[in-house]
Each structure stands twice: as C-alpha cells, then as structure tokens.
Structure 1
Amino acid sequence: MLVPLALAQFICSFAGSNMNVMINDMSEDLDTTVAGIQLAITIFLLVMAALMIPGGKLTDKYGRKRCFTLGLAIYAVGALISTVAPNLTVLIVGNSILEGVGTALLIPPVYILVTMLFTTVSSRARAFGAVSAAGGVGAATGPLIGGLITEAISWRAAFVFQALVIAAILWLARTLKDPRPADPSRPFDTLGAVLSSVGLILVVMGIMAAQSNLWLTVGLVAAGALMLFWFFVSVRAKERAGREPLLSVTLFRNHVSNLGLITQNSQWLLLMGTSFVVAAFLQVVRGYNAIETGVIFTAATVGILTASLAAERLAERRAQRTLIIAGYALSVVGTAVLLALVAGHPSAWAFAPGLLLIGLGIGVMLTPSVNVVQSAFPEERQGEISGLSRSVSNLGSSLGTAVAGTVLVAGITSTPSRAYGLAMAVLAAVSLVGLAAALRLPRPQHAPREQRASPLP
C-alpha cells in the first residue's frame, strides 16, 4: 500500500524541480524568457498550495481513494498537454494548472492514508519516512533526471516520463483500500475554498510582480491579504453558527503543530528556492547545459538519500525536535557555503558541498516535521490537518521560487553575482527562521524508544 503513495509524492515533487534545469531549452523552444519559465514553475507550485486545503477537505466527502485516483488522472492529462505545448500559455494550462490541480487532489489522501494505516510512532515514522523521503528525493533528483532526459531526447520527454509514472501508480493503487467510508452528506465550504485560494494566489503573484512594478506588488499583496482576512472572518462566522467551515481555526491553537508547520514551510522554501537559484545561475550566467546542471545537483540528491536511509534509525534514537534542529543546523551551514561563492569565480563543483549539506539537512528533518504536525491531531481531523500541512509545505515551495527567484531574475543579466548573493541571503534568513521555530518545539518528556506506542509527538 505504501509504494503507490510514496511514488505519488515522488512524482509531484519531481515536477516541482525538474524544469529548473530546462530553463534555456524551454525558453528558446517556447520563445519566452527565464522569467516566463519561473512564472510557469511558480504557478504550478502555487496552484498546489492554494487548492491543497480544499483537496484535503474533499477526501472526507468523496473518499481518500477516489480523490487520489481522480487527482492522478487530471495530472496525467496535464502532463500530456505539456508534452505538445507550442507556447508558454499552453504549458501553463497543462503543467501549471492541470498538474497543479491533480496534485492538490492526490497528495492529501497520501498523508491521510498513512496516518490512518500506521498508528504507532515507530510505524508511522517509517511510513512518513518513506513518503517524505520520496518527496525529498523527487525534488532533489528532478534536476538530474530532467537534465538527462532533456539532453538525451528533449525537455518534452520529461513530461512523457511523468505520465508513464502516473500510469504505473494507477496500476499499483488498484487494490488500495480506504480505511474509512466516504460521507457524501458532508458539507463543503465553497466560499472558503474560493477566498483562501484567491488570497494565496494574489499574495504570491504580487511578490513575483516586484521585479517589474512595485505598486502592482503592493496592490496584489494587499488584495490577497484582504481575501485571507475575509476567509478567516467567514470561518469564524460558520463555526459560531454551528456549520462546518473549510478549515477550523482551532487547528491553529495547537502550539506544537504551529511550530511544525513553520518548519515545513521553510524547509520547502529553502529546497525549492535553492534549486531554482543555483540552477538558473549555472545555466544563464555560467552557460551550463541541462545535464551538467543536473549532475551538480546530485550532491543534494546524495544528501537527501543518505539522510532518508537513516531516517528509521534516527527516529528510534533521537527525539523529533532534535532531528529538526540538527537538520536546520546543517542547512544553515549549507546556505552559508553557497552564499560565500558570490565572491570570485569558483568552479561549478564548488557548489556541491553547500548542496550536499542542504540535502542532508532537509533529509534529516522532513519526516519528523510531518510527523509532529500529523500526530498532533486525532484521526477524525486528519482530512483538515493533512490539507493544511500540504498547503503550507507547497506554499513554501512556491514562495521559494517566487521570492528567491524574483530577487535573482531582477538582476541576473546586469549584476549576476550580486543578484545571486542577495537571493542566497534571503534563503539563509529563511533557514534561520526555521531553526528558531525548531528550537521552540517542546522537549520530549520521555526517551524516543518509549514513544513507540504513543500517538503523540
């Protein structure tokens, strides 16, 4: 049962990073710019983030298995459309929108099913370890696999690869069982879904507009903040009236979960931001092709794989708080190493140590961060918290590409070294924010081995 779930997380994370090494090839073929490809990547990640909470809520109404299968089908259609895209607009429809919608439907069931099927801390840690590692490896190997496919065949073949993996997942998931029946009578907060989605989209698109129009940025961010405020007012009104909202504000009353959500957001912001910034710098400024850029990113892949293979032993021997702090410590050092490269003209391989450290750090803390959040709530609230958790993580991914990418793209042609340094400085600050949140997590009251039978972090 775990294989199709982990593979689904792998391909969705792969889709978020594999285009980073195709920037030159895709921009030339589609007659667009680096900013155009950045827009497509960011919209894909943003659609995931914006629709993840509604997607998690729909699993209660229509069932985990049905939403998972439907999401896979929509994703496959989007991948096939992207394969034959003649321009950036069609690519955005196929990759950014359809694949994003498909991901938002299929990812919440992955984490809900894992939580329901594995009830002890040790078994759940192993399961989340497999799924989270698959996500981390997908994001880290995206540049390498994407680069190999692009140089050997074409960037379009990378979308064929995604469609084939989706077909394999559908076949593997044919016997997957939903542990709880769907409840078609469960209400769905349509207004809340629209307000939360539009609010997030406006905020991120406003950030991306900063490179061209500051007033547009202010307007979009303000409009997005207003939408999100309206969303929370609507949620409170529904709860007072005894109706079920899209997302209960009581989810934010759990101190441990809130800190875990911050660590999740900053982890993915760091990983995806670093992936875009370094890949774009190597291709646009240094002139490396897709496969050369992908090979350099094997350092991050090795780091995540190494940490993931040790995830089960680490979960048994160390508290989740300790692992998250250690992961951030490694990531902070990694970003500092990459930031130091702004001086001089080092070889491309000089990027490998920093990428390795970030990969190790991300791999160490991915599983405990997810487990801290999911385990903080009972089974009947897994639909809500899973959607929120995945939304926060994917929002981090989209912000990583939007924020760090915008800083880089704004000066990559005129002052490339300065633009790279500023982008990495932003990501270093994000690492420190995540570390601060991890340090505030409560210390465990018992030794890690004694936690195995407890459902709490």
Structure 2
Amino acid sequence: MTDERITFGTSRARWVLAATALGSGMAFLDGTVVNVALPAMGDDLDADVAGLQWIINAYMLPLSALILLSGSLGDRLGRRRVFVVGVIWFAIASVICTVAPNLEVMIAGRVLQGVGGALLTPGSLAILQTSFAPGDRGRAVGAWSGLTSVAAAVGPFVGGSLVDSGSWRLIFLLNIPIALVTVLITLRHVPETRDETATGKLDIAGAVLATTGLAGLTLGLIRAGDHSFGDALVLVSLAVGVVALAVFVEVERRSSHPMLPPGIFANIRFTGANLVTVVVYGGLGTATFLLVVYLQTVLGYSALWAGASLLPMTVLMLALSGYAGGLADRIGPRIPMTVGPSLMSVGFLLMLRIEPGVSYVNAVLPAVTVLGLGLVATVAPLTATVLSSVDDHHAGMASGVNNAVARSAQLMAVAAIPIAAGITGDSYRDPVAFSNGFANALWISAAMTAAGAVLAWVTLADRAVRPVDVHHHPHCALTAPPYAQSRES
C-alpha cells in the first residue's frame, strides 16, 4: 500500500470522495427507486406479490450473505480493484434489469446486482479508511455520508419522475453513466491499498452455507404465500435453509478465520444491539416496502409522490442524527434505543390511519415523522454501541457484522411478514384485500419494533462493559460509521 496518505481538502481528496460517494450512491439510489417502481414493474412483468418480494429479496440475498466475505477479498486483492469490479458488475447487472423481458430475467439481474453491491459497498469506506491521513478520516467519512445521503433524498424524486414520465426501465439504465464516471475517476485518482498482513484462507465455505441457508428460507417463505406450508418444495426449501444455517454456525465456530466469528457475540451489549437490529430493521424494511405500493395501488398516488412521501424520514435523519449520537455519548444508549423503537412502533400504528380519502398532511406526514424520529433516536446509538463493544482494532469487522445482520433481517422479514399478514397472490392489485393485509403487516411491524425497545432496555443496562476481543483478523474494508474513523484499522 502507498505510504502517501491523502489530506482532506486537497484536489486528490475531492476526487477520491467523488469516486467512493458515486459508487455507494449508485447502490443506495437503486434501492430507493426500485421500491417506488414496484407497482409499475409488477404490471409490466405480470408479477404477483411473490414476484415483488423476489425483486427486492433477489438483491438483498447475495448482499446479506457476501458483504462480510467481500471485505476480506478487498484486504487481499486490493480494495480499489474489488471496488472497481463491484461497480462494473453492478452496471452490467443493471443492463440485464433494464432489458429484462420477464420476471425470471429480472430476478436474475437483481441477484447479480446484489453481488456487485456486496463487492462495492464495503470497499468505498475501506478506501477512505486506508487512503486518508488518520486525522482526516473522520471528516472524509462525514463528507462521504453527506454525499451518499443525497442519493437517498433524491431517489424518490428521480425514480418517481422516471416511472411517471417514461418507463421503470430507466431507473436501471441510470446506473450506467454513473458507473462509467465512477470507474474512470477511481482508476485515475484512487490509490490501491491492501492488507499485506492478511493471512489465512477466505471463508468460502461460510459464504456458501450462509447463501444457501438464507436462500432456502427465503424461497420457502415466499412460496408458502401461494402454496401453503404443506407444499413439498416449501418444506424442502425451509429444511435446507435451517440445516445450512446450522452447519454454517458450526463451520464458523471451528474455522481459524471465520467471516462471522462467534466470539464476537460473547459481549451482551453487542448481542443485544444486534438483536435490536433484527427486529427494528425487519419491521422497518417490510413496512416501507408495502407502504410505497399501498399509496399507489390503494390511494392512487403517482410513483413520484408515493416515493416522496417518505422524504421527511430522510430529512430528519440528516438533520438530527448527529445530535442523537452526541446524546447517546452523554447518557448511554439504553434510553435512546428504548425510546427510538417505541416511537417507531407508534409511527407504524399511526399508519393505520392512512385510508382512501385522507390527506397526506393529516395521515401520512404524522406517521412518517414519528417513524423518522424513532429512527433518529435508534440508529446512531445502535452504531456506537456495536463499535464500542469490541476492541478498537475490530471496530470495522463489528460494523460489518451489524450491517449483514440488518440486511438479513430485512430479507427474512420481506419474505415472511406479507404471508403472515395475508398479502399473497395478486392481492396488492385488490384495494380492499391489500388494505386489510397492509393493516395486519403494520401491527406486526409495530410489535417487532416494540420488542426492540424491550430488548434494548434489558440488554443495554448502563454498566461498565469491557470490550471483547474476538481474536479475529480485522477487515478494514468493513469500517463504516464515522465513530470508527479515528481508529487505525
């Protein structure tokens, strides 16, 4: 790796920030706009609820299973190289999604996008962590966070406008010029870095087992919506998923270089924070996935306005997350992470008031505002708790584990909650049926986030906690939140 570290504020620093923010922003933007386009995609591709679930989960599955492995890959092969491969891979997959003639090809394209996302997402922050001078890393990641947040903010407007004025296929085509510019800037201005001390084999067995387990559970749960749990393929899929994940746990326990070291869960705070992550992100992912579809199919919103309806959440996160993190530093994470999920639960219950004929200001805005405040109170303290629960040199790996947990939770929830709520088949095209199912899903999401508040209160008691050393090789490629940037990876 080069000994010449980049100083914040220089021309080179701006180029590196542009490359990493564009690459990550492309993935963030894609995730936002796909949700907005789901009803149009469903009509054009003749997709039922299971099809819409697969459009979301086909991307989340490889992203959840491979994001930890890709950090190790970047450490060994070069973080810039893996990042560039991820961006190109994502762009090629986007072309497949753009021209997809049917649902099957679309799902295949989304799987490939997930692989690309797993390669580029940790790489962008790893490049900042290893390229900038130690004293400038915090500012670099802060700038990166602001730039990538813009993608989340403009996504609903971009996606909605493209769907309303042209075709949903344009949302994938948009990735091509972004990827091209990202690759050109990266190859010209971003230094190559790698971990010369990285030893041991890549945990290929763990990655295969994790992917198989998550895929089996996802397939079984989604298929059960139309074929019931007595269906042979449903039973086989669920069995394969459970067995693969059980073997995965044993393999990780015995491996000298596991991608998910079991020892990291020895700390009650780390385990508690990740349990809160499971229920909070599971409930959030499902409710927001269904809300954007509900607003279009039941209330008649355009794609643009359905996507923009969630904008207050993004604005609140941008404006208040820093204050929430500072508050958690002063009083500890227990109270914020109890209040936050509680507010989210209230926000989901307020969504029960969203019915045909109600105005956005009277029904939708209060619900998403309360939900956004709940997210503000939860996310920053959760991140800080995850990072402070392990030794400093393992902060990047801890952040990566929590990221994988969050995405896996969303994956499973989007597969399971719709069937539990009675949203199956073509019910999303029937306003009455979808309204009933949507209400049931909101109750489930509210219960999950309320459980998150209880878990936070029980597991995050304000007592001195010694960080646990997980005896695992650190992966700089997974260092993510600003809180970790003053530490050497």
Q: If the TM-score is normalised by the length of the shorter chain, which range does it land in? A: 0.7 to 0.9
Q: Which residue of structure 2 aligns with residue 201 of structure 1?
A: 215
Counterparts of 1:428-443 in structure 2, within 5 Å, are 428-439=446-457, 440-443=459-462
Q: Deviations over 1:365-392 (max 9, x none)?
A: 3333233323433465456434422211
CA positional deviation for 1:314: 4.9
Q: Which residue of structure 2 aligns with residue 422 of structure 1?
A: 440
Q: Any gaps of 5 or more consecutive residues in structure 1?
A: none
Specify whether residues 137 and 352 from structure 1 end up closer, same or farther in structure 2 by C-alpha distance, changes over 3 A only. Answer: farther
Q: Distance in 2 between matches of 1:130 and 1:438?
A: 30
Does the Cα contact within 8 Å between 1:18 and 1:139 map onto a contact in 2? no
From 27, 30, 47, the counterpart of 2:42: 27
Specify whether residues 236 and 316 from structure 1 end up closer, same or farther in structure 2 by C-alpha distance, changes over 3 A only. Answer: closer
Q: Which residue of structure 2 aligns with residue 249 of structure 1?
A: 262
Amino acid at match of 2:450: L
Q: Which residue of structure 2 aligns with residue 234 of structure 1?
A: 251
Does the Cα contact within 8 Å between 1:21 and 1:279 map onto a contact in 2? yes
Q: Which residue of structure 1 aligns with residue 409 of structure 2?
A: 396
Specify whether residues 123 and 178 from structure 1 end up closer, same or farther in structure 2 by C-alpha distance, changes over 3 A only. Answer: same
Q: Which residue of structure 1 aligns with residue 51 of structure 2?
A: 36
Counterparts of 1:27-426 in structure 2, within 5 Å, are 27-94=42-109, 96-112=110-126, 138=151, 141-174=154-187, 175-177=189-191, 180-182=194-196, 186-212=200-226, 213-216=228-231, 217-238=234-255, 243-308=256-321, 310=323, 314=327, 319-341=332-354, 346-349=358-361, 350-378=363-391, 381=394, 384-406=397-419, 407=421, 409-410=423-424, 411-412=427-428, 413=430, 415-426=433-444
Amino acid at match of 2:359: S
CA positional deviation for 1:89: 2.0
Q: Deviations over 1:19-74 (max 9, x none)?
A: 22212322232333343232111211122112222223323322333222221111
Q: Distance in 2 between matches of 1:31 and 1:187?
A: 44
Calculate the TM-score normalised by the size of structure 1: 0.84
Does the Cα contact within 8 Å between 2:388 and 2:395 map onto a contact in 1? no
Q: Any gaps of 5 or more consecutive residues in structure 2?
A: 1-15, 466-482
Amino acid at match of 1:234: V
CA positional deviation for 1:101: 0.1
Q: Distance in 2 between matches of 1:246 and 1:69?
A: 22
Specify whether residues 130 and 454 from structure 1 end up closer, same or farther in structure 2 by C-alpha distance, changes over 3 A only. Answer: closer
**Which moved further from structure 2: 181-190 or 209-218?**
181-190
Q: Distance in 1 between matches of 2:259 and 2:144?
A: 26
Does the Cα contact within 8 Å between 2:201 and 2:257 map onto a contact in 1? yes
Does the Cα contact within 8 Å between 1:276 and 1:405 map onto a contact in 2? no
Q: Distance in 1 between matches of 2:141 and 2:339?
A: 18
CA positional deviation for 1:202: 1.2
% identical equivalent positions: 29
Q: Distance in 1 between matches of 2:269 and 2:335?
A: 14
CA RMSD of aligned residues (A): 3.5
Aligned residues: 445
Does the Cα contact within 8 Å between 2:157 and 2:307 map onto a contact in 1? yes
Does the Cα contact within 8 Å between 2:324 and 2:381 map onto a contact in 1? no
Calculate the TM-score normalised by the size of structure 2: 0.79
CA positional deviation for 1:129: 6.0
Q: Distance in 1 between matches of 2:210 and 2:58?
A: 16
